[in-house]
């Protein structure tokens, strides 16, 4: 194996020419008609939308880290995009709205093109010949799924690019003599690209796992090398830690730093964050509020755990249960969030006129809704949505002048461990004191959870009184506080300032929870066991009798999967033989095969098997990084096969051309689905190589000539093809329904 | 740790290097003189041989006897003082009653443990009539003390088993005593053994499985001798029993499996072993460790079915044919032929299938029409009526002509209680999004042709005509408009669907998919003659698989509500650090209270030992990679089999709970704790082996004193807290304990 690095500048002229011509071809193939289709495709709904929000600076929540979205935004911004388009539905037109979508699509497309020379250089670093390296690059180039995915405003092309960059740098690092400048450079590049990969999607953690596993085995072998002194060993260890842990962590955090700098205004992602976090956004900053809360104060009460908002009531009744006035949790500031604190034993005294009597732990209060004069009330009826017997309904009950009844009484229980140490653990203080509200008669505790009420309550969050609710969902605090007789110079409080690290940590945990919560199944999702044999694709876009459908080049997929199976068999046989005392591993070619092919197949396994543990919805494109490594592995195996078995140049060339020809043929056959090109129903049916491939051939006319004639209207309609973007935080937060395309037939009449 | 015996003998070590930490190179049979003798004589000391043989002999008989007596005392002392149904006695006592009443019931656990509970009731003359409601007082005629003693016997026997296991693992005598003492003085073991629960049986069979493994390992140099066969069979029987008590027994089975694979792999590398001998090793394992346990497991279910011959609360979980064979079942009277106007329930024929069900609640998403689910309990909402489709002659109950239903007929299914039609439409099902939603829609007059279903008979076990028959016909229901098939495949709905099973309309036409097969179960039609369903038998293996799938489905549905605070449940991370205990009964002053909490010294010590062992192993591995020689092959072997295998056992019995979605409790840690105790014993032994004799004795004495002392301190929680619990506040070492 070459102990030099495979950089473009140090390659022989022949290789340079190969790279340049393959890259040129890639530009043609990958960018061909990139403006087509000229409307929103699949998850451009989300990622285009995020670009708009970055430009407007509106805070949003997404389960993916920011790097790729920032790059897409940058591309759009440089092309003059103003962020006014909302990317709301698949199929929404770009041209009329004047969105520079081509520039935005060019970013993933360019990165997709760059993967191709990178794969060439990586294969060279593994010691492949120029011919097989070219073959590998061309297989990556003519892969339909990689092509389709890189043509739209999606994150997977940047992800594959940074994964490929890591593979390139890491392969070269292995070839460098220790502690030379090139050794440091490739180690640094590996760390940097790892940081970039994980800053695109968390799937980058699998790439980190791969580099981690290979580093640990490398260090283990180094430990067994007695010529390496302990001091040198520590040095090896130290620099790896710096570059492979330190650099990615810093890069990752830097991306979030930029993310926070860009998003300064409130937006639809606020609801995911804590109040302290929200208070850092423009317009959401709160004016200081008096600290001490007294009987007679007007207050707003906020739920701590769900970020669901303020205890709210409005002049509408429950259609179920008691049919009394609704109590909900409402995320925005509103006059209906305002409550008057009354002393349960002295309801008829106007406390607002008297000097303030401060609220203490254990006080029994009644809360009167200021705008409707009804009081917070609970009784032994089931809540409207959660029909559990350990939860009671909470309503607003009474009228002006009514003194209320004992079911209005709630006792304040301060939670010392959650409240600010000092006075706030004894007296109820705005923001600083966290407390529970215990219904004195039934003993249940005011509770709210992430359950939405139906449309009669405007889909606001349900509030109940729970006897066995979890503690975090039972905690409340006071945000706004006003009392007329408080002195003007009374102590004021506000949310504590949140620094970058706290915001960063909070966002990570919210992303994690949201990601884990994406478990609803999706029309086009698939499970990992279906990926290696390409069982099914994803419908990206259907319109005007054209279609975009994500499907791989089945020849290349099966070839790579076959390579994996062959390697697994090889490994099993050699291990069995080794246990029986055979010395296969003393042969250099077996060692080379095992280490170079092996490392790529380990990378495949680490990018593939963890998906089995994930319960969230998964898609075919999650397989793409694994596919890249599988292609590298099978090409390296092919290279060794050529060198050891085929040997003759003519045979090797012929075989290589043969493989390539089949790959290109398959690519061309399926390409109309990648480019949204005109197709006929007949051609479409013929391209359905597997019975589970469910692109809809009824979309296409029987004859190409119909595309330029008025007959087009006669072609059967697009029935039953549901095009739907994948769920992300935003879509699931707003409404699950608004991304279903118009192809969905209307609901039954009822 | 150990002083480094550090000659860097690279040559001598070359062989070892290749085969990581396995001392068994070909031609390298480390002459373990130790094991060359007959295993029986090697019970003595490993690291210390100055002891007198006759003393050893005394120790061999007297000490285990002493421990056993103490064990019976600690497990049975004051066993009957609490006369109320405590903790899960409510479940297992009730299941035991079902055996006595011979009524079919359903539960997520396999039957062996519960049959033993039933046996204990039978032995004391209990008639099965008590309901075992949680917190109730036992009536006069239930000899609960005897039933508890029966259970406690299993718990008590754990102690001698631990003693012999430690001996087999070649622990020093002092370490053997320590380990046995730790099991004896483990409060949680002493507590949980005193009640009518499955845990004492589970523990005993786990312990005996590991004993079998350790003994078998001791005999490994003498293959195919009678002792070797005995212990192999013993292991197989016990993993069969442990799995038949609770499915966690599979984890014990996994430990035995890993040992077996490791063992066979080493033998595969033994170039001198003839192929025939090697094949014999394989066959012996397959027979004793796979076929034998499986037979025991099957036999338990066979007995279960034989005893429970009457219809009972668990009928609905089983196939219709099985139910029809239970005595007093109401299915036997259904008319044979099904006709328009017949009232019936429809059973899904997939493994674990339920009854087609609907209720007034609507889907919160999708069409928002009335829910259709599959339900495993009998209820009037499972009842449907066959109606003719719109446009064909109306059904008139007084019409003399009876219209029988045949394969290919288009019909409507009307839900009896709500009068709505079974309906489907192009709308993704709530969970399985690529299939169509099935709902209940309209009424007798309102509706459309999406209410029409075409009946297809897939097969019939008893008849060959074209008519639809009760129980024996496997039917599919094809939606007339969409062509999809009615399907239910054990996918549970979210809480809004009460965790019942989702019903969908599957667009793929796969006639062999049993989840699309249905049969008519209960059938009422006063105009038709009664049938006799006893004529058809249900094959045992089918019932067995059916019941096991149903158990798995129910087990998976035991997911805790994330909003509900469950004071009894706990998270796996809390167990090894003893962050949490469990109140086993009410906490008022007038009842005897029991608190399930481990002996803090034992739990914390054993957890620390597992972590410590990982560190020690890592350090030794690194030193080995740097070519230091710290241990002889014998010592390496001892380290692996007596140290790492118990630690592996701990990991196997602990980590799977972290992955489980179902609700977990403190007592799930008890089997893992045993392996942690063994690890503790090994590490204590290993750490003190090079100390001078007085330092060793001192260390052991301190450890004995700590184990006994802490047990004595905490004994009230095991023997029962009488009176005000506040008197015991001093036991709450951690703020999270709630004694």
Last residue in a domain, options B556, B584, B612 = B556
One domain for residues B288 and B346? no
pLDDT at B558: 78
- What is the spatial distance between Cα A21 and Cα A15, in angstroms, rounded to a whole number? 10
Assess whether pLDDT exceeds 70 at residue B19. no
The two structure tokens encoding residue A77 = 């911004």
Predicted pLDDT of residue A227: 92
Structure tokens at B718: 């095991």
Q: What's the gap in Å between the CA of B365 and the closest CA on chain A?
A: 9
pLDDT-derived band of residue A165, with 50, 70 and 90 as boundaries? very high
Whether B296 and B360 share a structural domain: no
Residue with tokens 């802490």: B710
CB atoms within 10 A of CB A13: 7
Q: List chain A residues with CB under 8 Å of B565.
A: 468-471
Q: How confident is the model at residue B534 (pLDDT cuts 50, 70, 90)?
A: low
- Rounded CA separation B733/B715 (Å): 15
Closest-CA residue to A484 (of A349, A334, A294, A287):
A294
**How far are the Cα atoms of A193, A219, A226, A247 from residue A237, in angstroms, in the given order?**
20, 8, 16, 15
Distances (CA, A) of B299 to A627, B247, B544: 48, 16, 10
Are B716 and B640 members of one domain?
A: yes
Strands A325-330 and A391-397: antiparallel
| Contacts of residue A163, Cβ cutoff 8 Å, sequence gap at least 6 | A197, A204, A207, A607, A625, A628
Shared domain check, B344 and B223: no
CB contact under 8 A, B426 and A226: no
**ipTM for this prediction:** 0.83
To the nearest whole percent, how much of chain B has pLDDT over 90?
A: 57
Give the pair of three-digit tokens for residue A479.
């945000």
| pLDDT greater than 80 at residue A51 | yes
**Residues of chain A positioned with their CB less than 8 A from the CB of B26:** 581
Among B531, B556, B581, the domain-final residue is: B556
Sequence-ordered list of residues with C-beta below 8 angstroms from that of B524, at least 6 positions apart, any chain:
B334, B342, B343, B344
Residues B282 and B398 in one domain: no
Q: CATH number, domain at B340?
A: 2.80.10.50
Cα A410 to Cα A443: distance, rounded to the nearest angstrom: 9
A643 phi and psi angles, rounded to 5 deg: -70, -40
pLDDT on residue B8: 37
Separation of first and last alpha carbons in chain A:
72
Q: What is the pLDDT of residue B273?
A: 94
Task: Write out the DSSP string of A704-746.
Answer: GGGGGSGGGGGSPP--S---BPPP-HHHHHH-TTTTB-TTSPP
* A398-455 pLDDT tens trace: 888 888 888 999 999 999 888 999 888 889 999 999 999 999 999 999 999 888 888 8
Q: Are B497 and B592 found together in one domain? A: no
In a domain, B334, yes or no: yes
- Convert the pLDDT of each residue in A254-294 to its tens digit: 999 999 999 999 888 887 888 888 888 887 778 888 999 99
Residues B525 and B578 both lie in one domain: no
Helix (H, G, I), strand (E, B) or coil at B43: helix
How close B484 comes to chain A (CA, Å)? 13
Q: What is the mean pLDDT of residues B287-301?
A: 97
Distance between alpha carbon A643 and the CA centroid of its chain, in Å? 43
Q: What percent of chain A has a predicted confidence (pLDDT) above 90?
A: 62
Number of domains in chain B: 2
- DSSP class of A710: G
Local confidence band at B533 (pLDDT 50, 70, 90 cut-offs): low
Q: What is the pLDDT of residues A380-404, one digit of tens each?
A: 888 888 877 888 999 999 888 888 8
Q: How far out from the chain centre does Cα B226 lie?
A: 32
Which region among A510-524, A629-643, B50-64, B306-320 has the lowest average model confidence (pLDDT)? B50-64
Closest of B314, B309, B352 to residue B327, by C-alpha: B309
CB atoms within 10 A of CB A116: 25
Residue A380 · residue A442 · CB < 8 Å: yes
- Same domain, yes or no, for B552 and B576? no
- Write out the residues of chain A at the interface with chain B, using a CB-CB cutoff of 8 A: 220, 223-224, 226, 385-386, 388, 390, 447, 449, 454, 466, 468-471, 473, 520-523, 525, 576, 579-581, 720, 722, 736, 744-745, 747-748, 750
Question: Is B585 inside a domain boundary?
Answer: yes
Size of interface A-B (CB pairs under 8 A): 74
Centroid of chain to Cα B322: 24
pLDDT recorded at residue B10: 38
Angle formed by the axes of helices A204-224 and A181-200, to 10°?
150
End-to-end CA distance of chain B: 39
- With 0-12 / 13-18 / 19 or more C-beta atoms within 10 angstroms meaning exposed / middle / buried, residue B301 is buried
Q: Which CATH architecture has domain A287-494?
A: Trefoil (2.80)
Cβ distance of A220 and B432 shorter than 8 Å: no
CA A434 to chain centroid, in Å, comes to 32
- Provide the mean pLDDT of chain B: 87
**Position B696 pLDDT exceeds 90:** yes
Intervals of CATH 2.80.10.50 along chain A: 287-494
- The answer for residues whose C-beta is within 8 angstroms of residue B241's C-beta and 6 or more apart is B112, B205, B208, B249, B296
Cβ-based neighbour number of residue B162 at 10 Å: 29
Picking from B364, B433, B564, the nearest residue to A522 by CB comes out as B433
- On whether the CB atoms of residues A365 and A441 are closer than 8 A, the answer is no
Distance CA B178, CA A504 (A): 50
CA atoms within 13 A on the CB side of B262: 19
Q: Is residue B9 one of the residues assigned to a domain?
A: no
**Contact B246/B276 with Cβ under 8 angstroms?**
no
Q: What would the pLDDT profile of A309-346 be if each residue is shown by its tens digit?
A: 899 999 999 988 888 999 999 888 888 999 999 988 88
Q: Is the pLDDT of residue A747 over 70?
A: no
Residue B157's pLDDT is what? 96
- As a whole number, mean pLDDT of residues A511-524 equals 82
C-alpha torsion sign, points A304, A309, A311, A317: negative
Query: In terms of domains, do B491 and B348 share one?
Result: yes
Measure the CA–CA gap between B213 and B381, rounded to whole angstroms.
52
The mean predicted confidence, pLDDT, of chain A is 88
Task: Give the residue numbers spanning the domain of B437.
Answer: 330-556
Omega before residue A8 within 30° of 0, cis: no
pLDDT tier for residue B493 given thresholds of 50, 70 and 90: confident
Shared domain for B399 and B541, answered yes or no, is yes
State mean pLDDT over B79-102.
Answer: 91
* φ and ψ at residue A163, rounded to 5 degrees: -65, -45
Q: Which two tokens stand for residue A529?
A: 């066991």
- Residue B401 phi, psi dihedral angles, 5° rounding: -75, 125
Give the closest-approach CA distance of A305 to chain B in angstroms: 12
Domain membership of residue B314 (yes or no) is no
Other CB atoms within 10 A of residue A737 CB = 10
Q: Is the pLDDT of residue A8 over 90?
A: no
User: Quick one: which of A550, A555, A627, A453 has its CA closest to A42?
Assistant: A550
Cβ–Cβ under 8 Å, residues B431 and B493: yes
Least confidently predicted of B302-306, B557-561, B735-739: B557-561
Strand partners, A164: none
Does the residue B33 lie in any domain?
no
Q: Which residue has the higher pLDDT, B461 or A176?
A: A176
d(CA A661, CA A655): 10
Give a yes or no: residue B134 inside a domain. Answer: yes
Range A205-214 average pLDDT: 96
Average the pLDDT over B431-444 and give the result. 87
- Under an 8 A CB cutoff, do B265 and A521 touch? no
For residue A709, the model assigns a pLDDT of 59
Work out the minimum CA distance from B726 to partner chain A, whole angstroms: 23
Query: A717: burial class by Cβ within 10 Å (0-12, 13-18, 19+)?
Result: exposed
> How many angstroms separate the Cα of A589 from the Cα of each of A5, A592, A637, B311, B698?
22, 5, 11, 69, 59
Counting every residue written for chain A, the total comes to 750
| Closest CA–CA distance from residue A326 to any residue of chain B (Å) | 19
Q: Give buried/exposed letters for B607-620 (b at 16+ CB in 10 A, else e).
A: bebbebbeebbeeb
A chain contacts of residue B268, beta-carbon cutoff 8 Å: 576, 579-580
Q: Is A440 helix (H, G, I), strand (E, B) or coil?
A: coil
CA B364, B369, B375, B379 dihedral sign is: positive
Three-state DSSP at A547 gives: strand
Does the beta-carbon distance from B563 to A454 stay under 8 Å? no
Residue where a domain stops, chosen among B528, B556, B584? B556
Q: Are B540 and B304 in contact (CB under 8 A)?
A: no
Rounded Cα distance between B645 and A546, Å, is: 62
- Residue B130 within any structural domain of the chain: yes
Which residue, chain included where needed, has tokens 């009671």?
A392
Low-confidence winner among A716-730, B2-16, B590-604 (lowest mean pLDDT): B2-16
pTM of the model: 0.86
Does B563 contact A473 at a Cβ distance shorter than 8 Å? yes
SS3 string, A599-613, reads: HHHHHHHHHHHHHHH
On whether both B542 and B620 belong to a single domain, the answer is no
Choose the closest CB to B565 out of A226, A468, A580. A468
Percentage of chain B modeled with pLDDT above 70: 92
For B16, residues 6+ apart whose C-beta sits below 8 A from its C-beta are: B23, B25, B624, B633
Q: Which of A514-528, B34-48, B475-489 is least confident? A: B34-48
């Amino acid at each position: 194996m070459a102990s030099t690095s495979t950089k473009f500048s140090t390659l022989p002229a022949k290789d340079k020419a190969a790279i340049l011509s393959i890259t040129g071809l890639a530009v043609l193939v990958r960018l061909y008609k990139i403006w087509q289709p000229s409307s929103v495709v699949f998850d451009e709904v989300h990622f285009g939308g995020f670009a708009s929000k970055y430009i407007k600076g509106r805070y949003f929540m997404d389960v993916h880290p920011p790097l790729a979205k920032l790059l897409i935004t940058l591309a759009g911004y440089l092309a003059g995009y103003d962020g006014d388009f909302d990317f709301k539905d698949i199929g929404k037109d770009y041209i009329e709205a004047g969105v520079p979508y081509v520039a935005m699509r060019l970013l993933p497309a360019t990165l997709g093109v760059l993967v191709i020379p990178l794969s060439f250089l990586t294969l060279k670093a593994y010691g492949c010949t120029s011919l097989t390296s070219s073959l590998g690059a061309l297989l990556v180039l003519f892969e339909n799924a990689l092509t389709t995915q890189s043509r739209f405003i999606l994150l997977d092309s940047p992800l594959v690019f940074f994964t490929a960059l890591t593979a390139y740098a890491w392969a070269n690092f292995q070839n460098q003599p220790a502690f030379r400048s090139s050794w440091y450079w490739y180690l640094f590049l590996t760390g940097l690209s790892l940081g970039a990969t994980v800053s695109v999607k968390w799937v980058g953690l699998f790439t980190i796992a791969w580099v981690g596993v290979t580093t640990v085995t490398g260090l283990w072998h180094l430990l067994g090398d007695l010529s390496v002194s302990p001091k040198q060993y520590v040095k090896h260890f130290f620099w790896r830690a710096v570059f492979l842990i330190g650099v990615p962590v810093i890069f990752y955090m830097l991306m979030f730093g930029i993310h926070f700098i860009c998003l300064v205004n409130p937006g639809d992602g606020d609801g995911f964050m804590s109040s302290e976090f929200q208070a850092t956004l423009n317009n959401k900053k709160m004016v200081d509020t008096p600290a001490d809360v007294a009987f007679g104060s007007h207050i707003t009460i906020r739920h701590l755990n769900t970020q669901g908002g303020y205890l709210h009531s409005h002049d509408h009744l429950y259609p179920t249960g008691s049919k009394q006035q609704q109590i909900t949790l409402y995320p925005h500031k509103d006059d209906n969030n305002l409550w008057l604190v009354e002393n349960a034993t002295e309801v008829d005294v106007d406390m607002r006129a008297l000097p303030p009597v401060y609220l203490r732990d254990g006080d029994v209060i009644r809360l009167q809704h200021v705008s409707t004069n009804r009081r917070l009330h609970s009784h032994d009826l089931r809540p409207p949505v959660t029909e559990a017997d350990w939860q009671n309904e909470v309503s607003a009950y009474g009228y002006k002048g009514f003194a209320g009844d004992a079911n209005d009484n709630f006792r304040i229980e301060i939670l010392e461990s959650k409240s600010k140490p000092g006075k706030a653990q004894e007296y109820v203080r705005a923001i600083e004191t966290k407390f529970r509200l215990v219904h004195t008669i039934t003993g249940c505790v005011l509770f709210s959870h992430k359950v939405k009420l139906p449309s009669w309550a405007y889909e606001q969050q349900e509030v109940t009184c729970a006897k066995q609710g979890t503690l975090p969902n039972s905690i409340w605090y006071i945000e706004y506080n006003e009392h007329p007789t408080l002195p003007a110079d009374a102590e004021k409080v506000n949310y504590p300032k949140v620094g970058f690290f706290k915001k960063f940590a909070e966002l990570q945990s919210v992303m994690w929870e949201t990601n884990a919560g994406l478990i609803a199944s999706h029309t086009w999702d698939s499970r990992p066991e279906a990926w290696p044999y390409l069982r099914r694709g994803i419908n990206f876009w259907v319109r005007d009798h054209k279609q975009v459908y994500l499907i791989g080049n089945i020849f290349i997929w099966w070839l790579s999967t076959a390579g994996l199976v062959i390697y697994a068999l090889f490994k099993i046989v050699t291990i069995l033989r080794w246990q029986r005392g055979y010395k296969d591993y003393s042969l250099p070619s077996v060692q080379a095969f095992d280490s170079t092919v092996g490392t790529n197949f380990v990378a495949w396994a680490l990018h593939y098997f963890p998906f089995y543990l994930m319960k969230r919805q998964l898609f075919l494109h999650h397989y793409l990084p694994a596919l890249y490594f599988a292609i590298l592995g099978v090409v390296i195996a092919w290279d060794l096969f050529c060198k050891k078995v085929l040997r003759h140049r003519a045979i090797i060339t012929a075989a290589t051309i043969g493989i390539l020809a089949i790959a290109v043929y398959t690519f061309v056959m399926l390409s109309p689905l990648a480019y949204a090109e005109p197709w006929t129903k007949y051609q479409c049916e013929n391209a359905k190589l597997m019975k589970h491939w469910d692109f809809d051939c009824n979309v296409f006319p029987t004859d190409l000539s119909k595309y330029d004639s008025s007959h087009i209207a006669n072609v059967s309609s697009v029935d039953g093809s549901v095009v739907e973007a994948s769920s992300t935080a935003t879509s699931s937060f707003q409404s699950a329904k608004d991304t279903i395309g118009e192809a969905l037939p209307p609901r039954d009449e009822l | 740790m150990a002083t480094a015996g550090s000659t860097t003998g690279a040559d001598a070590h070359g062989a070892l290097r290749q085969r990581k930490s396995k001392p068994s190179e070909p031609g390298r049979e480390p002459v373990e003189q130790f094991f060359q003798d007959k295993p029986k004589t090697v019970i003595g000391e490993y690291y210390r041989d100055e002891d007198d043989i006759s003393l050893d002999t005394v120790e061999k008989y007297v000490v285990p006897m002493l421990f056993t007596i103490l064990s019976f005392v600690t497990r049975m002392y004051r066993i009957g003082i609490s006369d109320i149904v405590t903790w899960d006695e409510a479940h297992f006592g009730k299941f035991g009653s079902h055996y006595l009443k011979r009524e079919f019931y359903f539960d997520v656990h396999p039957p062996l443990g519960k049959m033993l509970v039933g046996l204990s009731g039978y032995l004391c003359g209990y008639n099965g009539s008590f309901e075992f409601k949680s917190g109730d007082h036992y009536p006069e005629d239930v000899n609960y003390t005897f039933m508890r003693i029966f259970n406690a016997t299993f718990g008590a026997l754990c102690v001698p088993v631990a003693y012999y296991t430690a001996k087999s693992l070649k622990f020093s005598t002092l370490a053997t005593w320590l380990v046995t003492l730790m099991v004896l003085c483990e409060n949680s073991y002493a507590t949980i053994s005193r009640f009518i629960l499955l845990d004492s049986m589970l523990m005993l069979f786990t312990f005996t499985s590991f004993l079998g493994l350790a003994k078998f390992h001791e005999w490994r140099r003498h293959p195919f001798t009678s002792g070797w066969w005995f212990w192999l069979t013993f292991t197989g029987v016990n993993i069969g029993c442990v799995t038949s008590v609770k499915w966690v027994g599979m984890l014990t089975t996994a430990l035995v499996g890993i040992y077996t694979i490791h063992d066979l792999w080493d033998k595969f590398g033994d170039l001198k072993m003839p192929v025939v001998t090697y094949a014999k090793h394989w066959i012996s394992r397959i027979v004793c460790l796979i076929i034998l346990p499986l037979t025991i497991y099957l036999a338990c279910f066979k007995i279960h079915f034989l005893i429970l011959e009457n219809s009972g609360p668990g009928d609905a979980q089983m196939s219709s044919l099985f139910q029809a064979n239970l005595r007093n079942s109401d299915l036997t009277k259904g008319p044979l032929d099904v006709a328009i106007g017949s009232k019936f329930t429809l059973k899904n024929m997939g493994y674990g299938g339920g009854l087609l069900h609907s209720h007034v609640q609507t889907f919160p998403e999708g069409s928002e029409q009335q829910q259709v689910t599959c339900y495993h309990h009998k209820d009037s909402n499972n009842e449907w009526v066959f109606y003719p489709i719109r446009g064909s002659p109306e059904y008139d109950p007084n019409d003399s002509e009876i219209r029988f239903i045949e394969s290919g007929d288009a019909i409507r299914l009307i839900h009896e209680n709500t009068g709505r039609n079974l309906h489907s439409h192009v709308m993704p099902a709530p969970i399985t999004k690529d299939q169509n939603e099935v709902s209940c829609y309209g009424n007798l007059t309102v509706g459309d042709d999406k209410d029409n279903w075409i009946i297809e008979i897939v097969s019939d076990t008893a008849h060959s005509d074209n008519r639809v028959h009760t129980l024996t016909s496997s039917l599919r229901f094809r939606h007339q408009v969409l062509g999809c098939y009615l399907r239910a495949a054990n996918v549970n709905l979210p809480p809004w669907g009460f965790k019942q099973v989702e019903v969908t309309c599957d667009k793929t036409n796969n006639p062999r998919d049993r989840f699309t097969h249905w049969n008519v179960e209960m059938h009422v039609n006063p105009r038709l003659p009664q049938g006799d369903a006893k004529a058809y038998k249900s094959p045992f293996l089918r019932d067995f698989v059916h019941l096991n799938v149903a158990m798995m489905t129910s087990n998976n549905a035991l997911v805790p509500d994330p909003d509900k605070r469950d004071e009894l449940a706990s998270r796996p991370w809390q167990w090894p650090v003893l962050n949490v205990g469990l109140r086993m009964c009410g906490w008022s002053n007038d009842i005897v209270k029991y608190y399930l909490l481990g002996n803090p010294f034992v739990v914390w010590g054993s957890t620390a030992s597992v972590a410590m062992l990982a560190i020690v192993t890592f350090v030794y591995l690194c030193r080995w990679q740097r070519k230091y020689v710290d241990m002889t092959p014998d010592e390496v072997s001892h380290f692996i089999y007596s140290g790492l295998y118990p630690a592996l056992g701990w990991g196997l019995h602990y980590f799977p709970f972290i992955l489980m979605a179902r609700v977990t409790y403190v007592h799930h840690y008890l089997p893992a704790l045993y392996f942690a105790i063994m690890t503790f014993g090994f590490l204590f032994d290993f750490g003190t082996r090079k100390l001078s004799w007085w330092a060793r004795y001192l260390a052991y004495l301190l450890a004995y004193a700590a184990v006994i002392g802490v047990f004595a301190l905490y004994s009230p929680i095991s023997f029962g807290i009488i009176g005000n619990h506040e008197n015991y506040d001093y036991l709450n070492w951690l703020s999270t304990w709630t004694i």
